[in-house]
């Protein structure tokens, strides 16, 4: 049963606004401190929203965006299967050989493939697959891995900005608002490409122009045999075909009247079927178990809990208040609101997880629909997406992929320290937001 | 019956934890051994270094790490890379790779207990005297040779 929570339904007769905001603030504070796994915190917060009477169970379930959940889960299954084929290593070696293993060309090409893969797959998976090859190549060339790892971080966040499925904030925004895969590519693709190209300039000035490798070391990389990286040709064909069809499905989703979540889940089920064909029951069971085991359930249940927590504060009217306050600050001026959302999202996302921020901002911006036209509202979505995705470059904790790369760097004996990274990354991130402001201004404002 | 009467491989007197890894490797190759026991200036056990741990240092770190490359077939023989990593060992110390926390055998350890511990470990185990000094290393091969001799087979 859906309805407004009244004071009598809420525990001890307290105000739903006070209770929901308390749960919300406690949940976010616990997420920020990272003392307890974020999925546990989010689910506890969700439970408190229900037990305290702010939401009932059916309202909580209705608050979960299952399109986002299925899109994330489906893509995770597809990637878990595909990565076993060695295709990502194959591509990395091929591009390294294209540029004749020349260090700067290699940095550019590894960044390009990271950006492209991040646009089509999740960023964490992309860097998990690209970084080990990058480390092997830099090891063979006897050049420092740091510039490569730095640019891989930037490329993954910039690439992820450009599509509906590239980064969780975009998945959430696209799903909540009904923006299509094509909408994202058309509106965010150009600015992502511009920011990517511009980011390479300071990287060249700082590192690129000094990069050198001996002809002998380059010859060693040129001797790599890309075909040997492919571990299973049949798996490669199957998984690339299904991923290709799923991406085509995303592009067509609007026209065929389907949601991306359904397409990703169906694709995942279809690829699981292809992998199961011709295997006996025990083998099928083993392989299917293994694949499902590779889904990042921590992320999935973090989303589930967070959606319920945000549904709680939304129902209690807190987000109406926040939307009202935001409009009050910006004076209801559309360009000021768009630029404020862009910069606030970027700075916020640089220091804390952008997922809870975006989950909260989506209903806030939806409520601004009362003041702004639908076209203006869509510009606000691009502001939010650009800020939240590019903001992730601002610090090591800005995005999960950054931490994964830092983990690899640590294990490789070339650690990326928090402050030195931020000293370069934060100004570069601010520059990318300045460029995005100009883009938004010229295109939409 | 204890292991006191079994001859064990003596500890290195030339090498300390501060010695270069390359020197340790050369010594092991020269003596045809895979595990080199180490002790401090007072003769106390400080750890063992093995050819296995040195070999794994020659492998690119990208293949050794968690979530790293699963195979390196595509990289060819990469002799140059292996040689470059080998040269790097000259500036690294034995202490960086030495296994310091492992089961040790008391020189009065009963034969059966020693057999059990050696069957559970892949490397030879250090034998420590009552005075706390390292007597040497006892390998599975030495222990088996002793049992064969006792059995008269």
pLDDT, tens only, A228-254: 989 889 999 999 999 999 999 988 887
Beta partners for residue A420, in sequence order = none
What is the number of H-type helices and E-type strands within chain A? 22, 0
String of DSSP letters for A379-417: HHHHHHHHHHHHHGGGSTTSSHHHHHHHHHHHHTT----
pLDDT of residue A7: 47
Q: Residue A84, Cβ neighbours under 10 Å: how many?
A: 17
Q: Which residue of B has its CA nearest to A230?
A: B74
Q: Which residue of A has its CA nearest to B81?
A: A140
The whole-number average pLDDT for the span A286-307 is 90
Contact A231 B76 (CB under 8 A): no
The whole-number average pLDDT for the span A295-322 is 88
CA distance A256 to A237: 26
Lookup: tokens for B37: 């026991």
Give which of A96, A217, A220, A227 to mutate to test B binding, by max B Cβ within 10 Å. A220
Query: Half-sphere exposure (CA, 13 Å, Cβ side) for B12?
Result: 25
Q: Just give the CATH number of B9-151.
A: 3.10.580.10
Asked whether the whole model's pTM tops 0.90, one would answer no
Question: A272 and A292 in contact (C-beta within 8 Å)?
Answer: no
Contact A133 B62 (CB under 8 A): yes
pLDDT of residue B76: 84
Q: What backbone phi and psi angles, to 5 degrees, belong to A330?
A: -90, 0
CB pairs under 8 A between A and B: 62
Q: How close B119 gets to chain A, by Cα (Å)?
A: 32
CA distance A57 to A46: 10
Contact A140 B63 (CB under 8 A): no
Q: Which of A132, A223, A227 sits opposite B68 (nearest CB)?
A: A132
Q: Which of A93, A131, A135 sits opposite B74 (nearest CB)?
A: A93
Predicted confidence (pLDDT) per residue in B117-145, tens digit: 999 988 899 999 888 888 888 999 999 99
End-to-end CA distance of chain A: 42
pLDDT of residue A255: 85
Give which of A135, A136, A296, A403 to mutate to test B binding, by max B Cβ within 10 Å. A136
Give the confidence band of A415 by pLDDT, cuts at 50, 70, 90.
Answer: confident
Measured between CB atoms, does B78 come within 8 Å of chain A?
yes
Contact B62 A227 (CB under 8 A): no
Q: Which residue of B has its CA nearest to A139?
A: B60
Q: Classify the complex by whether its ipTM is higher than 0.95, answering yes or no.
A: no
- Residues of chain B falling short of pLDDT 70: 12-13
Q: What is the DSSP letter of B44?
A: B
How far is CA A141 from each of CA B56, B68, B85, rounded to the nearest angstrom?
20, 18, 12
Give which of B57, B63, B75, B87 to mutate to test A binding, by max A Cβ within 10 Å. B75
Q: What is the mean pLDDT of chain A?
A: 90
pLDDT of residue A2: 43
pLDDT of residue A145: 94
pLDDT of residue A396: 86
Predicted confidence (pLDDT) per residue in A4-28, tens digit: 445 447 877 888 999 999 999 999 8
For residue A228, the chain B residues in CB contact (below 8 A) are: 73-74
Lookup: tokens for A377: 């509202």
Contact A228 B73 (CB under 8 A): yes
Measured between CB atoms, does B87 come within 8 Å of chain A?
no
Crossing angle, helix A181-206 and helix A233-256, to 10 degrees? 120
Predicted confidence (pLDDT) per residue in A144-196, tens digit: 999 999 999 999 999 999 999 888 899 899 988 889 999 999 999 999 999 99
b/e string for A359-380 if b means 16 or more Cβ within 10 A? Answer: bbbbbbbbbbeeebeeebbbbb
pLDDT of residue A79: 85
Beta partners for residue B133, in sequence order = B44
pLDDT of residue A1: 38
pLDDT above 70 as % of chain A: 98
CA distance A191 to A438: 10
């Amino acid at each position: 049963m859906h309805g407004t929570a009244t004071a009598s339904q809420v525990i001890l007769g307290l105000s739903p606004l006070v209770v929901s905001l308390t749960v919300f603030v406690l949940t976010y504070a616990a997420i920020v401190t990272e003392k307890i796994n974020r999925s546990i915190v989010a689910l506890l917060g969700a439970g408190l929203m229900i037990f305290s009477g702010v939401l009932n169970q059916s309202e909580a379930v209705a608050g979960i965006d299952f399109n986002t959940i299925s899109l994330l889960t489906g893509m995770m299954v597809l990637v878990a299967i595909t990565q076993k084929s060695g295709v990502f290593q194959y591509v990395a070696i091929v591009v390294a050989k294209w540029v004749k293993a020349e260090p700067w060309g290699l940095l550019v090409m590894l960044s390009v493939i990271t950006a492209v893969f991040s646009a089509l797959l999740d960023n964490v998976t992309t860097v998990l697959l690209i970084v080990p090859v990058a480390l092997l190549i830099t090891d063979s060339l006897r050049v420092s891995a740091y510039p490569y790892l730095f640019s891989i971080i930037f490329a993954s966040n910039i690439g992820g900005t450009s599509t509906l499925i590239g980064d969780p904030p975009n998945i959430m925004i696209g799903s909540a608002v009904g923006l299509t895969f094509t909408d994202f590519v058309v509106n965010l693709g150009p600015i992502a490409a511009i920011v990517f190209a511009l980011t390479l300039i300071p990287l060249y000035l700082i590192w690129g122009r000094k990069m050198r490798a001996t002809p002998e070391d380059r010859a060693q990389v040129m001797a790599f045999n890309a075909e040997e990286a492919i571990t299973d040709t049949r798996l490669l064909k199957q998984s690339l075909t299904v991923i290709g069809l799923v991406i085509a499905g995303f592009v067509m989703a609007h026209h065929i009247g389907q949601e991306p979540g359904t397409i990703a889940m169906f694709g995942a089920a279809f690829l699981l079927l292809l992998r199961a064909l011709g295997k006996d029951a025990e083998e099928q069971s083993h392989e299917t178990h293994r694949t499902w085991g590779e889904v990042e359930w921590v992320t999935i249940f973090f989303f589930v809990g967070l959606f319920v927590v945000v549904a709680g504060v939304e129902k209690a009217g807190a987000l109406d208040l926040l939307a009202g306050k935001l409009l009050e600050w910006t004076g209801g001026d559309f360009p000021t609101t768009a630029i404020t959302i862009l910069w606030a999202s970027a700075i916020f996302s640089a220091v804390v997880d952008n997922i809870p921020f975006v989950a909260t901002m989506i209903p806030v911006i939806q409520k601004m629909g009362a003041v702004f036209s639908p076209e203006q509202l869509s510009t606000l979505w691009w502001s939010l997406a650009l800020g939240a995705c590019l903001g992730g470059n601002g610090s090591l904790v800005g995005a999960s992929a950054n931490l994964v790369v830092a983990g690899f760097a640590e294990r490789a004996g070339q650690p990326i320290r928090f402050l030195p990274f931020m000293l370069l990354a934060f100004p570069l991130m601010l520059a990318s937001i300045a460029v995005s402001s100009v883009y938004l201004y010229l295109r939409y404002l | 019956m204890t292991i006191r009467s079994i001859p064990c491989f003596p500890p290195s007197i030339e090498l300390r934890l501060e010695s270069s890894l390359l020197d340790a490797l050369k010594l092991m190759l020269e003596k045809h051994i895979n595990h080199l026991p180490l002790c401090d200036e007072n003769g106390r056990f400080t750890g063992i270094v093995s050819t296995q741990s040195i070999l794994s240092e020659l492998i690119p770190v990208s293949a050794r790490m968690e979530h790293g490359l699963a195979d390196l077939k595509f990289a060819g023989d990469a002799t140059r890379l292996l040689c470059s990593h080998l040269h790097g060992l000259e500036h690294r110390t034995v202490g960086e790779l030495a296994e310091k926390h492992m089961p040790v055998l008391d020189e009065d350890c009963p034969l059966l207990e020693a057999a059990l511990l050696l069957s559970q470990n892949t490397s030879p185990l250090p034998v420590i005297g009552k005075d706390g000094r390292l007597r040497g290393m006892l390998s599975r091969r030495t222990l088996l040779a002793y049992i064969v001799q006792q059995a008269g087979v």
